[in-house]
Structure 1
Amino acid sequence: MSLLDSLASSLGKSSPEGGGGSSNLIAVAMEFINNQPGGLSGLIQRFHEHGAGDIISSWIGTGENKPIAPDTITNVLGSEQVGALAQKAGVSGDQLSGMLAAVLPNLVDRATPNGEVPAEGKLDLTGVLGSLGGLGGLFGKSEGDKNT
């Protein structure tokens, strides 16, 4: 069982089809970010417009990532957008919001390793995942991380 499958399972998603939906979540989230007007910068602006700028700023900064509630994700992205993303990932809207609440902080954090948004505002799936040494690293960052 992959780490993403474990995450999905811990969020209450049973995966009878073998977890393909949870593995797709990273790609769906990155595609969504890249398709925003302005890419990651556009997503950051959206968070600020919906009162969650301090949360996404913590993900970009070099300090601890603030958690985000699934309903805040839905508020920022809009229920129509969450529904469309959920359909792409093969999960319900509620499941997607919960999974994005777990994935986005780490994804944005890893995409901005020095606390800086990429100049072009686009995330490179291979680059981000490659810098993680695989998907396992996406969820491996904790205060006990001693990789220096």
Structure 2
Amino acid sequence: MGLLDAALGMLGNAQQGSGGASNNLVQLALGLLNQSQQGGGLQNLMGTFQQAGLGEIIASWVSTGQNLPISAEQIQQALGGGQLSDIANASGLSKADAAGGLAEILPGLIDKLTPNGQVSDANNIDPAAMLQQFSSLFGNR
């Protein structure tokens, strides 16, 4: 189990009890960024967004500057029906609601994962530090 997997597990335990589809969606968004999952990882997600013509948007989330907004429709465009359906089913949300939730979650999540404006190797991420960053992200909600 990699460090990001451990962080995901710790996040799940920390979020237990406050429950709901929103927390599931956060965990699923983290899953998109988990390099140990097939097709996962921030670099793969960036490639997916670039292929959908949204490279400038996701690059803004990685950079140290202002995060550009993204719409639910753009999330649907980038992820496609299959991956978005999987996320919607796993979170208990409709595809539209899942896309809207990801549009809210992903910019801040990716921004927190890349504080220096660089894509890091997931194996070099300290789970405790990552969870501390995420808790501040969730606290602002």
- CA offsets 1:28-66 (integer angstroms, 9 cap, x no match): 111122135361101011111110000000000001000
The AA in structure 1 aligned to 2:89 is Q
Q: Which residue of 1 aligns with 2:70?
A: 68
Change beyond 3 A, Cα 1:121–1:47: farther
SS in 2 for 1:78: helix
Question: How many Å separate the matches in 2 of 1:126 and 1:49?
Answer: 33
CA contact (8 A) 2:84 2:95 kept: yes
Q: Which residue of 2 aligns with 1:25?
A: 25
Question: How many Å separate the matches in 1 of 2:62 and 2:123?
Answer: 13
Question: How many Å separate the matches in 2 of 1:123 and 1:54?
Answer: 25
Change beyond 3 A, Cα 1:91–1:38: closer
Which blocks of at least 5 consecutive residues in structure 2 are unaligned? 1-17
1:19, distance to aligned residue in structure 2 (A): 5.2
Q: Which residue of 2 aligns with 1:58?
A: 60
SS in 2 for 1:31: helix
Q: Which residue of 1 aligns with 2:104?
A: 102
- CA offsets 1:103-145 (integer angstroms, 9 cap, x no match): 00000000000001112478776543312444214x5xxxxxx
Kindly indicate whether residue 114 of structure 2 is the aligned counterpart of residue 112 of structure 1: yes
Which blocks of at least 5 consecutive residues in structure 1 are unaligned? 1-17, 140-148
- CA offsets 1:72-131 (integer angstroms, 9 cap, x no match): 101111111111101111111000000100100000000000001112478776543312
1:26, distance to aligned residue in structure 2 (A): 1.0
Question: How many Å separate the matches in 2 of 1:54 and 1:31?
Answer: 22
Q: Which residue of 2 aligns with 1:39?
A: 41
Q: Percent identity?
A: 38
RMSD: 2.3
Q: Which residue of 2 aligns with 1:87?
A: 89
SS in 1 for 2:33: helix
CA contact (8 A) 2:32 2:40 kept: no
- Which TM-score applies when normalising by structure 2? 0.76
- Which TM-score applies when normalising by structure 1? 0.72
How many equivalent pairs are there? 121
